[in-house]
Chains A and B, each alone.
Chain A
């Protein structure tokens, strides 16, 4: 029983991450009709906002001690972050909270990046065939990750969660299990609530604002909205920027779980496309529910009890589920007819 509860938690946590990435992707699909192969790269850029923020606030004062020599014969350097030199304990606290604080950097940067990317590149590809959208966004993704690689290297860079949520907590005692049976990392719980919060805000934004209403109308029938004299394209720019920001925030908050490296976007790219398509093209609720569904199924498929009956099932479960769903429901869970079907 405790094993099942743990896997449900894992599934929700994974699902939160999948849903968050898929949400932005499906927004771009649904509103702009663009196949964005650079979406994984946006996720990666978000994660590197956290790395960059950490680098900046931990810029080090280098004190060279000529009396001591390193093993390779150069004088020993002692390094202390400037922020600790200047601010003392406050600086240490800032360093400790570097990951959540870097959201402050990620939000404007990712919005700006999304804006520039849409104005400078994506806009010119609205009317172009999907194949060309794939080529150009894939090329952009490679360029972005190579730039990151040339600054930060290829090795993952660890980012620690703040001390207070670094360890694990005993969730089991809250719901009547024996102590010590359901222990779960605190940061993963933070991540789950964070992703639910972001998903909720995006839905609320689209549901309760005029802007959101126009965008939803545009998703349903772009031409008619255009005939009404509404400048839909300008709103699309903002939609793209929001999608980039959501992907970026997903990346920032994921860094303590997965030390970021330049290639992490590509690792998530295929998966996020599967999630979006299983959810159904152009459907936000579909993408979110597909994210959680696949996350939970993947967790259960990895249990030893399941793997002994079906060896290797954890390797293919996501794809197997995708095939079955697409065969049973032609447009995924909640897809609309005619979206990206040609």
Chain B
């Protein structure tokens, strides 16, 4: 029933004694404050293995992305346990892992379905923590869900390694000591896109934003508008669209005669697929406004979205965290072992999840313990390379990774059905680094 029963000490006994008069108390009612320094939840010291939790969307709109994340996690576990060809363990620098699990313990895993809903994700994560005794959990395809799980991680005292989440808030105003993000964010998308947009489209442009009406959409709209206005572009309008609108025609039609010559779609997933498809049908790409070609920009791209939008993505600019066509050693090693295992190349969601798992494992190895307070310290301000994005810093001040960002464009002549995005520019990390103060937020304590 409770495989994580905490040790009973004097203080907790007193508390429990007082409590039993009020309700049917069980011995497990012990406050966290009572833990001794070396004790932590789900301590695997006396076990031969450690368990990770992989909490991904298995139902709903992001199910395919979740499936790809799960493949990457399974591959990561294999590599950690010394099976397969080792993937990025051959290229990761520095590396403390030895291919014999973590600290000599075999890695096992449990899975769950977030349904891309905060409540379901937290329920699933709690199951992993309370029932399966995981020492770390990871996953996700949405910022709201990531933020909800991150604050749960802080309450539970279990580290959460974010999967795909792009909102500034995840490592900004909602950052947590127990949450870590390898993926890039909206601010970095804007900073990376800026120079490329200037080069391709000039300084005199009029932009029209269509924005998904929730927090992620707003932070992206803000970040991109700041960048483009910095270039000297004028923002004609910012229009909010309901999440999951399906048909966006009533929002696209007004763009036609607004005088704008750039449409920026701050949409993700199905919304982006639909709005882009419909915008192209309205003939926006063939339009000439103010003597310039009308352009569409999708700041955050993913391969699954590109697949869903089909032909319509050709020539459309955006950013992405990683792409399988990269030619560095880390990317090549990962693409090779993923491709041989599953028969097709990994998506950027799979990449970030794979890397997050290895980074956590490596941090445990370096810390010499699974105690989250120590593991967190090992991850903070850790510098590494060979994971596909060049030299990377896991900044301690906000738990955000700083690395190169890819500016991509929909491929005009694809050679295969996976060859959808063409890397236009690799923006160096120095150009997308920002002061952690600008987004505020509090990380919270190491010990909870």
Residues of A within 8 A of B (CB): 2-3, 6-7, 9-11, 13-14, 17, 70-74, 76-77, 79, 149, 153-158, 160-161, 166-168, 180-181, 183-185, 187-188, 256-259, 261, 263-264, 267-268, 298-299, 302-304, 307, 314-315
A230 CB to closest chain B CB, in angstroms?
41
- The verdict on A302 contacting B251 (CB below 8 Å), with A74-B343, A155-B308, A156-B273 known, is yes
Q: Quick one: which of B283, B310, B325, B416 contacts A185, CB cutoff 8 A?
A: B283
Question: A153 to B64, alpha carbons, bound, how many Å?
Answer: 7
Give 16 pairs: A residue, B residue, CB < 8 Å, sorted on A: A6-B253, A7-B250, A11-B250, A71-B339, A74-B339, A154-B60, A154-B62, A156-B270, A158-B311, A160-B310, A167-B281, A168-B286, A181-B257, A183-B283, A185-B281, A261-B308
- The verdict on A258 contacting B64 (CB below 8 Å), with A71-B332, A74-B340, A166-B281 known, is no
Q: Contacts of B278 on A, CB cut-off 8 Å?
A: 185, 257
Q: Quick one: which of B63, B250, B251, B335 contacts A154, CB cutoff 8 A?
A: B63
Minimum CB distance partner of A166 in chain B = B281
A71 and B281 form a contact (CB under 8 A): no
Question: A158 to B270, alpha carbons, bound, how many Å?
Answer: 11
B277 an interface residue at 8 Å Cβ cutoff?
Answer: yes
Question: Interface size on B (CB < 8 Å)?
Answer: 52
B254 and A72 form a contact (CB under 8 A): no
Q: Contacts of B345 on A, CB cut-off 8 Å?
A: 70-72
- The verdict on A158 contacting B62 (CB below 8 Å), with A3-B257, A6-B256, A10-B250 known, is no
A158 and B277 form a contact (CB under 8 A): yes
From A10, A155, A299, A314, residue with most partner B Cβ within 10 Å: A155
B310 and A183 form a contact (CB under 8 A): no
Question: A161 to B311, alpha carbons, bound, how many Å?
Answer: 11
- Residue-wise, chain B 256-299 has the 8 Å CB interface mask toward A (1 for contact) of 11000000000000100110011001110011000000000000
Question: A71 to B339, alpha carbons, bound, how many Å?
Answer: 8
B416 CB to closest chain A CB, in angstroms?
8
Q: Quick one: which of A2, A160, A258 contacts B274, CB cutoff 8 A?
A: A258
- The verdict on A183 contacting B273 (CB below 8 Å), with A10-B249, A156-B308, A261-B61 known, is no
B58 CB to closest chain A CB, in angstroms?
9
Minimum CB distance partner of B331 in chain A = A71
Question: A21 to B350, alpha carbons, bound, how many Å?
Answer: 38
A304 and B237 form a contact (CB under 8 A): yes
Minimum CB distance partner of A168 in chain B = B283
Q: Quick one: which of B239, B310, B332 contacts A304, CB cutoff 8 A?
A: B239
Q: Contacts of B312 on A, CB cut-off 8 Å?
A: 158
Q: Contacts of A168 on B, CB cut-off 8 Å?
A: 281-283, 286
B258 CB to closest chain A CB, in angstroms?
9
Question: A315 to B312, alpha carbons, bound, how many Å?
Answer: 27
A299 and B250 form a contact (CB under 8 A): yes
Q: Contacts of B417 on A, CB cut-off 8 Å?
A: 79
B27 an interface residue at 8 Å Cβ cutoff?
Answer: no
B273 and A259 form a contact (CB under 8 A): yes
Q: Quick one: which of A71, A158, A256, A303 contacts B336, CB cutoff 8 A?
A: A71
B247 an interface residue at 8 Å Cβ cutoff?
Answer: yes
A309 CB to closest chain B CB, in angstroms?
14
From B244, B246, B339, residue with most partner A Cβ within 10 Å: B246
- The verdict on A155 contacting B307 (CB below 8 Å), with A71-B345, A74-B340 known, is yes
Minimum CB distance partner of A268 in chain B = B246
- The verdict on A185 contacting B282 (CB below 8 Å), with A70-B339, A72-B345, A158-B308 known, is yes
B250 and A158 form a contact (CB under 8 A): no
A257 and B281 form a contact (CB under 8 A): yes
B309 an interface residue at 8 Å Cβ cutoff?
Answer: yes
B242 an interface residue at 8 Å Cβ cutoff?
Answer: yes
